[in-house]
Structure 1
Amino acid sequence: MSEVLAVVNIQAVAAKKRLQSNFLKKGITLALSSGLAYGLYTAFLTMGMTKGVWADWYGANTKGLSTFVVVYLIAALGNAINDVCSAVWALSYAGIKGKLKDFFRCINTPPGRMMIVAALIGGPIAGTAYVIAIQMAGSIAVPISALCPAIAAILGKVLYKQKLSKRMALGILICVSASFLIGSAGFSVGASKTTSIGIGIACIAALGWGFEACVAGYGTSMIDPQIGICIRQVTSGIANLFILVPIFGFMAGGVNISFDLAIQAFTSGPAMIWFLLSGLLSFITFMSWYAANSMCGAGLGSACNGTYSFFGPLFCLLLLGVYGGMDGWALPSVAWVGAIVMMFGILTISMNPLDLLRRKKEEI
């Protein structure tokens, strides 16, 4: 009898290990797909801001718009439209899943309010900075913004007294070194002042998303990730369109200019097609990332999501450079090397890379 029980226990343990392994693999697959989707979102959003009325705003005929409007207000408007489209996709998905009541019920709860704070940091601040950086510096801004996991690790140590091990410190050093490598690529080809400012603004995006990761980590641990995504995207869309864009309009000379530009943008059919796609992919990347974090851990999930530092420039090159025939989207070889090094640094922050090899041996 004891021998039978021993065999059953061994089989149960083996089945549990297989289940955990499959669960981990599915989480990693979702996290990698979130990085892929974020790269596509970047390319589609940027393509949308070259079509329809946007082509006039950014072209030779700027319709009398000031430099401030072209550089900052229009970029904020692009981010706002993307987040509004993403919020529509998120709410539609929640409605299909029968979770709209949960969405309204969770908004005014402690974790819901934490998600609202995270959305305000990651949407109007980091998201707009990301779009501005891409418009000013091109796809070289993408891997710079991917410093956010390194910044999140540092902020976790400062704000929440989380442990910062030697391995994590090494990963941060690798990421910072990679960012300098990527930045040097921009300067080596005779970067303009605009490119330099764009790289600096990309650092603001990384800082904002790093802070968001710290704040959102609490909220998503207590509510359904799909509800958390809805709260984030809806909050970001509303704050961008009805707070940040009017503020930029006021700074440009009057709130009316922001409303006029918003109406033109929303009624520009050729551009809105791309914004609907970028909004969908923005929703998909967050949904996949949140789900992955619950399956393989926030550390490994963030590391795999950070692969957008490579996929972003790649899809911008393919969609804008090759398909769109636009110049300026090809990166020097050293920038591609820096993006890959950045991915390794993010992985090192999140976990010991050797653990992946150990898991494979255990499965065998």
Structure 2
Amino acid sequence: MIKITVVSYNNETPSLPNGALFGPEHGTIGRSEDNFLVLPDPKHYVSRAQAKVWSNGTRHHLINLSQANPIIINGQEIEAEREYDIHAGDQIKIGLYQLRVDAVAGTSGDLPPTAATPSLAKTSPTPAATEVPVNAATLSSTAEAARPADSAELLQAFLKGAGLPDLNLSSGLTPELMETMGKLVATSVQGTMDLIAQRALVKREVNADVTLVVLRKNNPLKFFPDSQTVLTQMLRKKMPGFMTPDEAMDDAFQDLRAHQLAVVAGMKAAMDALMKKFQPALFEKRLSPPTLLDHLNPARRKAAMWEHFSRLFDSISLESKDEFQTLFGKDFLTAYEKEIERIKYTAHTEHTKQAS
């Protein structure tokens, strides 16, 4: 038997011992609670079932079950789905965990197959941005006295702003029309904020840069907590440092358009990365050199390649459910940010041409 023990997590010694014994029956290491050796990992650097280990008393073996997360033994990364011999004294690195292999002569006094898990270092969550302590009440103030415009002037101003200066509304500016316009504005603002929130969620999932508060030209749609406060700021323009209403909506829609195109580019990159994992040349490389039997019976080697393909497919299919970031996140993020930069550059170039 052998014992695999957690030496450190994120370079810190665990407060409680964590280890497991492995014998002839295959045992697993991973972050899921049903493993022999459980490695809690909120960052998902460790797969649910990361490794399989067994020992016949004289030889000890380990297989990396994960296509997403690597295992490093004595400074050397090992290939997934291949069997490796491990020995007493070997150092195994999985994610932020450092493990040690020890030979076990007897079971007396040793750890049970599943031991207490370590107390991981706690960190305070970092907010995406500092919330602006403001509400609608603090923005309100008495408007400067001005000559009240008549209803015809107000309606004409609205139609001009809507891009419909020649539209004839025979009913004029009625309370029903004003209520409809108010609902239209409120729905548009709330819908835009919902889309911005979903965009921020996707960016956090793939570790993309998030919007930060700046000293001037902040977009109220991105910083205030609710649509009522946003509308109060837009209509009263009380707080300095924010975009005008039309600037804010235009800025938001530019970001959303860019986000949609960047997501498509990211998904294409992720799909390309997935297809590369199934290249026939990789399966051929991972198999041992052809034997005499393989040459005499080519179907034998093809069957071995198909079996390896099936195991790889099952592994990636399982991990893709909750480990997209580890499997394809880097490819997605690179393509996403590259497309965002391309769109920004194009928009800046067009704006410069129009201004000159």
Higher relative contact order (CA 8 A, sep 6+): 1
- Identify, as 1 or 2, the structure richer in helix: 1
Q: Please, what TM-score do these two structures have when normalized by structure 1?
A: 0.20
Greater percentage in strand: 2
Largest Rg, 1 or 2? 2
TM-score (norm 2): 0.20
